[in-house]
């Protein structure tokens, strides 16, 4: 009889199901088989055990050992039933909560990336490289100094300027200077101002002359009209200059951003200085060589450009070899 029972396909199916445990293919197959024959019980485990016990009634008891992971699978099945029951009574499974939070977090990250990467009104996405390569074909103001100073260009400061055939340079102070400790400056301002939203460049050709710490030549961009009466310096400027053997780039609040050797002082050939300026950036170059690039430090006001001479010791004679030959302002 024991042999007949063991050869019964249903008995073997139930035995395999109990060994494999809840959730296994054998378990689902056995439950489906019994329910297809009209047997029903909400507790699948009890259903399988009861049918198997009925089959083996009248024979010696044959124990069934649980297969690998049987206990774990039974506990997981019980836990799943609890979660299903909780969902039916209004509880929210933890997995669903985690999924919702994850989706919200992903949406937040994508929104932040979109805000940072896509252009926004009023915010320039221009880079230094784009500014350096910008095409500026339109000349809006210019002056060539070969004996005269165009009337549209405004002279300011205590140091007088004159234009000779060689170029623009400081003129002797009227009556002479008697105080070596008091430096004097004079500048020539452009007749137009460029709005901060426009990209432009000021291009100056000059002869730096022999190295001298007593005379400074500067090319500048200013957003203020509060030029001092003695040195013609304003409170917000971007400046390139040569003094002695050094050339420098200075931004707002007199912060030196670049300080290096000037071009070969033994050569008195003209050099071309270019300041390219956008709303917030600037690129300063000398003879096609980029010296400095970065935040221009200028406020969002119209920009006036100019050239300036500062005589550190006005009692000494002016170096006649340091002259500005021309200045141009170009934009798109």
Percent of all residues in the chain with a pLDDT value above 70, rounded to a whole number: 80
Average pLDDT over residues 140-167: 96
Q: How confident is the model at residue 16 (pLDDT cuts 50, 70, 90)?
A: confident
Whole-prediction pTM value? 0.62
In degrees and rounded to multiples of 5, residue 129 shows phi and psi of -65, -40
Has residue 204 got a pLDDT over 80? yes
Q: What is the mean pLDDT of the chain?
A: 83
In order of start, what are the domains of the chain with their CATH numbers? 2-68 (no CATH), 128-331 (2.60.120.200)
Has residue 159 got a pLDDT over 90? yes
* pLDDT tens, residue by residue, 28-85: 888 888 888 777 666 788 877 777 777 777 544 344 444 555 556 655 665 665 555 5
Closest CA to 170 of 321, 275, 271: 321
More confident residue, 238 or 2: 238
Q: How confident is the model at residue 288 (pLDDT cuts 50, 70, 90)?
A: confident
CA dihedral 189, 311, 321, 273 (to 10 degrees): -40
The rounded radius of gyration (Å) of the Cα atoms in the chain is 44
Question: Which residues lie closer than 8 Å to 26 by C-beta, 6 or more apart?
Answer: 13, 16, 17, 19, 20
Looking at residue 95, the DSSP 8-state letter turns out to be H
- With tokens 């699948």, the residue in question is 44
Cα(240)–Cα(16) distance, rounded to whole angstroms? Answer: 90
Q: What is the pLDDT of residue 193?
A: 97
Among the residue ranges 7-16, 18-27, 111-120, 313-322, the one predicted with the least confidence is 111-120
In degrees and rounded to multiples of 5, residue 88 shows phi and psi of -65, -25
Q: What angle do CA 72, 74, 78 make, to 5 degrees?
A: 115
Q: How confident is the model at residue 2 (pLDDT cuts 50, 70, 90)?
A: low
Q: What is the pLDDT of residue 229?
A: 95
Q: What angle do CA 248, 221, 307 make, to 5 degrees?
A: 75
Cα(40)–Cα(23) distance, rounded to whole angstroms? Answer: 18
Cα(120)–Cα(245) distance, rounded to whole angstroms? Answer: 45
Give buried/exposed letters for 92-122 (b at 16+ CB in 10 A, else e): eeeeeeeeeeeeeeeeeeeeeeeeeeeeeee
Cα(187)–Cα(227) distance, rounded to whole angstroms? Answer: 10
């Amino acid at each position: 009889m024991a042999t007949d029972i063991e050869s019964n396909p249903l008995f073997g199916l139930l035995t395999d199901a109990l060994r494999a445990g809840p959730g296994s293919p054998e378990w689902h197959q056995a439950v489906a088989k019994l329910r297809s024959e009209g047997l029903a019980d909400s507790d699948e485990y009890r259903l399988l055990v009861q049918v198997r016990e009925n089959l083996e009634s009248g024979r010696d008891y044959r124990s069934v050992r649980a297969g690998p992971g049987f206990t774990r699978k039974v506990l997981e099945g019980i836990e799943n039933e609890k979660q299903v029951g909780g969902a039916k009574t209004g509880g929210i499974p933890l997995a669903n909560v985690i999924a919702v939070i994850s989706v919200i977090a992903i949406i937040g990250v994508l929104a932040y990336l979109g805000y940072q990467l896509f252009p926004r009104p009023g915010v320039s996405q221009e880079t230094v490289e784009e500014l350096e390569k910008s095409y500026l074909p339109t000349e809006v103001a210019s002056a060539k100094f070969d004996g005269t100073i165009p009337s549209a260009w405004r002279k300011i400061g205590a140091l007088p300027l004159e234009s000779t055939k060689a170029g623009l340079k400081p003129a002797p102070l009227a009556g002479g200077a008697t105080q070596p400790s008091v430096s004097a400056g004079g500048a020539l301002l452009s007749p137009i101002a460029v709005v901060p939203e426009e990209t432009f460049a000021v291009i100056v050709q000059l002869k730096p002359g022999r190295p001298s710490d007593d005379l400074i030549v500067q090319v500048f961009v200013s957003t203020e009209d509060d030029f001092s009466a003695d040195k013609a310096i304003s409170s917000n400027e971007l400046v390139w200059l040569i003094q002695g053997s050094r050339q420098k780039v200075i931004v707002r609040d007199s912060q030196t951003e670049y300080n290096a050797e000037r071009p070969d002082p033994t050569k008195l050939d003209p050099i071309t200085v270019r300041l390219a300026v956008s709303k917030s950036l600037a690129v300063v170059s000398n003879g096609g060589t980029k010296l400095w690039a970065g935040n221009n430090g200028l406020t969002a006001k119209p920009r006036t450009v100019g050239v300036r001479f500062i005589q550190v010791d006005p009692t000494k004679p002016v170096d006649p070899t340091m002259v500005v030959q021309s200045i141009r302002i170009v934009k798109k």
